Structure formats: structure tokens, C-alpha cells
Amino acid sequence: MAQKSTLLTPRARVSFLGSAKSGTHHAWLMRLTSFALLPLTIAFILIVLSLPGRDFQSARILLGSPCPAILLLLFVSVGIYHMTLGMQVIIEDYIHGAHAKHLALMANTCFGLVLGAASVYAVLRLSFT
């Protein structure tokens, strides 16, 4: 069987195909968000552990003060973004139909946005009331 002769280099033949397109950026974002979640998770646990034994009003005052509120907003935002990125990888790997994959990716994005908006609203409501 004769090899087909081409003037393209091996790199030019695989440009814009497969994971060489954007996989590195996605993997970098996953690692960056997981690294950011380490201290944010510790802060979240400390905030939650400081709540038992408090009455409703003092717990509300604690969660509404600037530092815990900002830490909660960061934890929720980064956590939901990390979750959305992770589900995107799962959808891309395990759903093979193009139509179903696009619908699942849209649902994943919408779910992340709705969950993030509801969580941010809850923290801001605690902070400003």
C-alpha cells in the first residue's frame, strides 16, 4: 500500500483537531479553581462550625458581616464554576450524540447559573437585611 505524499508537516495535519484545541485551558481552569477552593473550603468550614449554639439573630449578624459574606460569596462562586467545568468534562466524555451533548451542555450551564444566582442572592440577602 503506497503512502500518500503531502507537503503538510505532521503538526499542520493535526491542527485544530481533538483535544489540542482547548483542553489545556480547560485543565488549567480546573486546577486553578480546585486550588482556590482549598482555603475557601477551610474558611467555609470554620464559618459553619462557629454557628452552633448561636441564636438566629446572632448567626444572621455573623453571616451578614463583610468578611464571612465575602468568603461565602467566593466559595459559592468558585465552587459552582468548578462544578460546571467538571460536569462539562463528564458530558463531553460520556454523551456521544451531538444533539444530546449540546442539550446537556446547555442544561449544565443554565443549572450552574441558576444555582449561582440563587446562592449569591441568599448571601446578599443575609448581608443587607
| 33 class by beta-carbon count within 10 Å (0-12 exposed, 13-18 middle, 19+ buried) | buried
What residues make up the domain containing 104? 23-128
Distance CA 51, CA 2 (A): 74
**Would residue 61 count as lying in a domain?**
yes
CATH number of the domain residue 100 falls in: 1.20.1300.10
**Would residue 98 count as lying in a domain?**
yes
The count of domains in the chain is 1
**Would residue 28 count as lying in a domain?**
yes
- The tens place of each residue's pLDDT in the chain, 129 residues long, gives 556 666 767 766 666 555 555 678 888 999 999 999 999 999 999 999 999 999 989 989 998 899 999 999 999 999 999 999 999 999 999 999 999 999 999 999 999 999 999 999 999 998 887
**Would residue 13 count as lying in a domain?**
no
